[in-house]
Amino acid sequence: MLSRTKTTRLVAALAATLALATVAGCGEDPQPAADSKAPLEIWVRKPPGSPTEKTHQALAAKFTAATGIPAKVTALFEDFETKLQQAAAQKKLPDIVVNDTAQLGTLVKQGLVRDVKQGDIDGGDQLTPASWDAAKGADGKVYAVPFSAQSFALFIRKDWREKVGLGQPASWAELDALATAFTTKDPDGNGKADTYGYVIPGSTKRGYLDWYFSSFLWASGADYFSGGAGSLSPAIGSDQAVAAAQWLKDQFCTAKSVVPGAVTSETTQAHPLFESGKGGIYFTGPYNMARFDKNLGKDKYEVVALPAGPGGKSASLAEGENVYLMAGSANPAGQERFAEFLISVDGQTVGMAGDTDGNVVRLPVNKNVDLAKVRTDARWLVFDKVYKEAGRYAPVVPEWTPFRTASAESLNAIVANCSSDPKAELAKLAEKFTAELQKQGA
């Protein structure tokens, strides 16, 4: 797969790059001549020096060994999108960006990525259809190559749950009862009222609170929009959505079962609250298991699917990462070859990194990869089952980020002010959604 370069693909890729000569970040400068051996600069949204950065470095090294194409990985985490914009303004975009699926619409709108011909990607037919759907824009075109998938589940302090004498929650009512018990019954046995139920990243930055809430919204039977592509209408003000927002507010204001400070917490602040014993229920992704195993202890917590909500079904935000082929690259053929390596069985296996915290492939998108053979930790199968049975990607609109940001701000206003009116706040949010839909022609 990696030993040949198709002339037709190179011509097509070069044509696509030339067509993007005037996009953001490239200006009107002439494009560099295509060079199938030109070095590739790769940006990944990972903390510098982290185990995940090392896995990306290992992937790049194996790619270079197989193809002879130099590949340099740069790990960035804080303000990743801002730094990418700065690179675009300086006309120094990287060749490849590995980033969240939710960023696709924004990158397309800004003209920073080129479209991908799905049939030209060797091995693309071995990827799950759902993963390819997450690489499609609102216009139906493909703008990335899928790399990793993930779902979310409840991380619950098992030792606390057993201490308070409750079973694993099978409904939202039982989940709330567990959160209340963790808050009021001294599950750590230190004689102090210093434990809480829910750990929630409630910050508006990057839309964190909406990111957290979306699974609960869907499980309640509500949704963001109704209608089809090109004729969407807000559904965020529905009775079901209001009930879900009221449920969230009740945890903050009535049960008071949420760890203090949640309204300003990002995930980087939320993770330590679970592993340090401040909160006992955290709805998060599988990437935290290795960290919590080390810092908390594998025997002290369990991974459980979110129970069905008032809508009668369970739901989980489905996310992951795509390989974005950035506009203006001097090596468009190399961009595709790198993407092909990442989705190969070898690339996916290296990216999964066994049971370590260096995993950058959470759930494989290549259907030929047997998860159970790569990882011995059976908890991964919980996330795999949730993804296949209850996973839902963010709505397909030209640009999802403005909606997520507006939703996070409204939800944050609801939970930060216990005198707030969820129905009124979501009505205002629906108006914002309407204006944004019209702006985007959606």
For residue 172, pLDDT over 70 is answered with: yes
How far is the C-alpha of 220 from the C-alpha of 218, rounded, in Å? Answer: 5
pLDDT confidence of residue 230: 80
The kind and range of the H/E element at 303 are: strand 301-304
Of 24, 31, 39, nearest in space to 95 by CA? 39
Count how many residues are written for the chain: 442
The lowest-confidence range among 178-192, 238-252, 389-403, 421-435 is 389-403
The kind and range of the H/E element at 337 are: helix 332-343
CATH number of the domain located at residue range(s) 7-150+319-392 in this protein: 3.40.190.10
**pLDDT tens digits for 357-377?**
899 999 999 999 999 999 999
Query: Contact, 27 vs 111, CB < 8 A?
Result: no
- CA angle at 97 for the pair 91 and 98, rounded to the nearest 5°: 165
User: Same CATH topology for 7-150+319-392 and 153-317+400-440?
Assistant: yes
**pLDDT tens digits for 126-162?**
999 999 999 999 999 999 999 999 999 999 999 999 9
Q: In the chain, what percentage of residues exceed pLDDT 70?
A: 93
Query: Contact, 374 vs 418, CB < 8 A?
Result: no
Query: Contact, 219 vs 315, CB < 8 A?
Result: yes
**pLDDT tens digits for 22-42?**
344 444 444 556 888 999 999
Query: Contact, 38 vs 338, CB < 8 A?
Result: no
Q: Are strands 301-304 and 153-157 parallel, antiparallel or unpaired?
A: antiparallel
Q: How confident is the model at residue 2 (pLDDT cuts 50, 70, 90)?
A: very low
Helix/strand/coil (H/E/C) assignment for every residue in 372-429? HHHCCCCHHHHHHHHHHHHEECCCCCCCCHHHHHHHHHHHHHHHHCCCCCHHHHHHHH
For residue 246, pLDDT over 70 is answered with: yes
**pLDDT tens digits for 43-93?**
999 999 999 999 999 999 999 999 999 999 999 998 999 999 999 999 999
SS3 358: coil
For residue 14, pLDDT over 90 is answered with: no
Judged on CB neighbours under 10 Å (0-12, 13-18, 19+), 24 is middle
* Strand residues in 151-270 grouped as ranges (E): 153-157, 196-199, 225-226, 233-234
Q: Domain-by-domain residue ranges, the chain?
A: 7-150+319-392, 153-317+400-440
Cβ neighbors of 324 (< 8 A, separation 6 or more) are: 96, 97, 98, 99, 103, 104, 107, 112, 113, 143, 144
CATH number of the domain located at residue range(s) 153-317+400-440 in this protein: 3.40.190.10
The tokens for 234 are: 């807000």
Of 147, 122, 141, 120, nearest in space to 14 by CA? 120
pLDDT confidence of residue 328: 94
The tokens for 435 are: 């204006």
Q: Please name the amino acid found at residue 56.
A: H
For 322, phi then psi, to 5°, come to: -110, 160
The tokens for 66 are: 């197989």
For residue 353, pLDDT over 50 is answered with: yes
